[in-house]
Structure 1
């Protein structure tokens, strides 16, 4: 038996999640106890997996395959789409169909294009593809495109009414232009809509956060890792690091945006080592370790005239000549002092040994 499970082009999931989807599907169509193989393919315009199994049970009986595609498989598909928050194969709106092709979305520049149209293009690409579970995580992605979803201050009228507006940001990250209400967009990306996405997306992250942790840990295997180096190396792996700083420039938050798995994670939710404080401490430790190794490193340059190795401290900058003098042995005469010679002679006269 050969079955192909095809996914939406935006659904580039980790292997662990695909295996769980495959297991759930096989259970639902009655092949849960059968041996089967799973192959992941990306040789088409959409990601898909192949399932290969046999229809003969261990006891020799045969599994009925009559109308399995129309009945068991169709039911399993609908249940799995809901269980794993997948893009549904049917009932998509015209706006969602545009996602079948990659959308070239760039940063929004105020005044260059119509604000509403520019924001709508970014929202169409981000809201249905990325896995965010809070407004802060969503804004971590939108910030990359110079957009912010804003509820207003806690005492404001829009906040009390549960409203939401979208703003364009300038190069300094400050709001510019007139805000646009969420309800004015065709897709209605209101606060109520986002809260539903939070619930759906929160269960997805256990599959994808392992990749972010692995990439962060890999960077710290290198020496002299600072924040700039971390941001640069993660970006090469498709992960943007959004840093939140106070007005004084103090880093207090960090969010990881993985453009491969479309997962957005706050550092503090991933564990201490991946929070802003933990990352700063790890950066400090790598630099500190490197400095200590420099201080301890002693390079052998020469052998002195007395056969003593001469070293030069990398940290203190002592010359070979100075250290050579420090290691130089004191000169000693082969002659014994007169007092010691007289003492030996007196012992000899008394018949004593010359040895002490």
Structure 2
């Protein structure tokens, strides 16, 4: 099921369309004194209530759409609509549910107002997230086909076209079709001109005309030609939607055109395309799309007219759209006949080119890195690992790589043997060069750790010193060791930095295992705490919250002032991650609070706004939520009661001893889908994840349940149990690496149907 919502300033046109459609059926009214009222009377009630406030978002037009072939009877569809409105916060507003039969997919329209009887406006913050969570809840409850949860790569699918008709109402269906397509295009791409917009909407049979008044004000009109003998009259942009008017769109186009990043994206694309040209001796024009996608991950579409290729358009990952001639005249196909002018010759790589030799070097380098990361025992540094491997060791990894498969596909069969020979010949040269580069990087990294240790000790972040050797706790948490007045990496003695500390005793209690991923995150955190300004500091991830769990002896020695700063930074990083994880379950601002409460976090409201605290940090530590999030929480009608209801939930967690970070970590791993690790924690370590009940049930159904059964039935050896435990607290780039970027779950509601100019930031029950 797909939910669509549009906010507007008027409701007359919307009601005329919804209630005037041929074959429409009113399924029912919400919050009216009778179900026997006429549509005209309801329209008057809705109009007058909406006019009690001057907000531009007075009215809401919602549609719930089933996929093709799915059927619901009227009673069930109305019940689903009622539950949707209740969860979206419209449960006490007047609304009408109308079923239409003008398309191949079944759908209902709901029209309501955001203005309450007292003239105040409902809080409509985070509408897209709430709609997504509500939709998924209803899909599961009523057995409906889920909407996609991953972003679509294909072009916008046209679900309907206005039927062939004439008369006064002919433009109504057109108007809403135009809204769907134009809003989606403007969300998906950073459009910079009306000319570009016209090209992007042309496949959807939409035509655009622009006008300019004497005062220079830009106007725009839209028309529809479905190529079946039906063409609408052109409709002013402001009549389609106020944000699709000429001046409003021109303002958006100007912002996109003046972006400082625009030139950077141009240069990057130009370099990538030129590199592709340098690699190939010939490219069949119709294979350019596939070549650029496989080699550079660039999406393009050939521009053809009467079967003649005029160029191509690049749909960049930055969401900008570029024509090839806009990037550079040098890359136009007409100007590169040396590559594209070879008739119907097959696409083939130039094995004598400089770029081909560079690709061979890249292949070998990637194979070394993969071999090191996949090594069951990562003993030693990467540079040491390289010198122990010969071509036969990395050959299978190299041949299985995507880049190798790509190169082999376009190398002529007669040159395949030469390709393999070139790889063998380049191997020792590349290995030596990489060894030298990696050695240089490793030395710099060790020196960086030494410098950071100096800053940490100077700023007295931890109460550690040479007495009783407690400074070793800091060394271990940064992945280094100290011996004979020298500092070196924990897993290697190859590089050293002289440190005159004399003989240090070894602490009786040290962490048994230190994850390299947590070492990196700890390094970033200590860099942040060591700097006087937090600007330009490395981005922390949610795993910063769990550093005291991995390095308990060290973080117990953290000085109070720095501990408060650390806890605030950790809370900030974790909250941002948790908000993205909660999106599929957050049907309202109450859910926002409940989901955090179940994890052991609670909210307070003061003069500075809302603050979030946790049962894992000191009472004085907190993170102030952004203003927009505060407005979202303020939209809860009975906010004081909801905040008061947090107390027994938090008290229960504390009484049960659930304030151990292991409980939060188990929930974090569960949200990441690492069910095998979670299953071990739940069975062998008797950990209970601090998560909302509905979230736990979701993961049980999603794959956790069979993992629990498998772990419970398996009689593991002591050696295997140690390995499993080590894996539970070992993270690499997936969770703790510096290059890790968390991605928000796909939101079909937001990406396909909401007004593109509205920037949005990013059942209750006890936890198990």
Same-fold call, TM cutoff 0.5: no
Structure number with bigger Rg: 1
Q: Which structure has greater strand proportion?
A: 1
Task: Pick the TM interval, shorter chain.
Answer: 0.3 to 0.5
Higher relative contact order (CA 8 A, sep 6+): 2
TM score, norm. by length of structure 2: 0.21
User: 1 or 2, which has the higher helix percentage?
Assistant: 2
